[in-house]
Structure 1
Amino acid sequence: MKHMKKIIKNQKGFTLIEIIAVLVILGILAAVAVPKFMSLTETAKQKAVDGALSAGQSSVSMQYARLSLSNDAEPDMTTLAKYASNQVGGDFTFTFEASGTTGILITVTREEKTATYFWKRPGL
């Protein structure tokens, strides 16, 4: 029995003050980190849309080159927009709008984030 009392007496634990101090520190860290994390999330979503816009630009450029070589003439913008829209997809919504003979307006959307770019026909 004496041996058991000795063990109980020698056991140490955290005091209430130490536990409260740790909780306060964790609360402060959370208050600082959460807004920063939310900002990073929004920035990442916009950058993903910007990256998809680059894929749309590449699609238009590749289709322009392919149609120019296969037809031995410059393609009209409506045909180019149709072929470019068949090459992209995934999690993003792409729209390709022909603008006369000068180029194509590319718009990419995902989760309320949007990016646009006006692709000009080479030589303009």
Structure 2
Amino acid sequence: MGSFPYPHGRSQQGFTLIELITVIIILGILAAVVTPRYFSMVDDARVAAARGAVAEGASRFYMTFADYTLNNSHTTPAGLSDISGAAYLGLDGGNRLVVGDFRLTYGGGADGADVTIDVEDRGGDGGWSEVDAASATVPWPGS
């Protein structure tokens, strides 16, 4: 009797069909559980980054307000239009400012009213889409 590499005289050629199907089912279950969580985390990260952009926008607004006040003999701006130009906030004609992958839109601010900051995210196609959970209202300084 010759020697066999496996006990009891059987040689193993590979995996059985049942073993392969079992592994495929387990991988499918894992993918079904992990994929939604991954996309949820991607959305959460997008909203968190947009909130960071809004915080930067609020910071820029307050810094610009202070800069205007110091450069104009301690006269405060009457409204957002006084500080929206290229010398200060640098907003475009639609009161928008691009900050990285985000576009901030400033609103309000007339006669000392609160300023709203809305944020849009640049999509993969280059278009802009609003991020609802990341807008903010900041009070006009001194009001």
**TM-score category of the 2 structures, normalised to the smaller one:** 0.7 to 0.9
Equivalent residue in structure 1 for 2:83, among 65, 76, 80: 80
- Determine the structure 1 residue equivalent to 2:139: 120
- Hey, what's the Cα distance between the residues in 2 that align with 1:93 and 1:35? 28
Which residue number corresponds to residue 71 of structure 1? 72
Report the counterpart of residue 108 of structure 1 in structure 2. 119
5+ long unaligned stretches in structure 2: 92-96, 122-128
Structure 1 residue corresponding to 2:107, chosen from 68, 91, 97: 97
Alignment of 1:1-124 (within 5 A): 10-72=11-73, 73-77=75-79, 78-82=81-85, 83-86=88-91, 88-102=98-112, 103-110=114-121, 111-114=129-132, 115-124=134-143
Compute the TM-score of the two structures, normalised by the length of structure 2.
Answer: 0.70
Q: Point out the structure with the larger helix share.
A: 1
CA distance in 2 between counterparts of 1:112 and 1:101 reads 27
Contact 2:53 2:99 in 1 (8 A): no
Gap regions ≥5 residues in structure 1:
none
Q: If the length of structure 1 is used for normalisation, what is the TM-score?
A: 0.79
Contact 1:81 1:96 in 2 (8 A): no
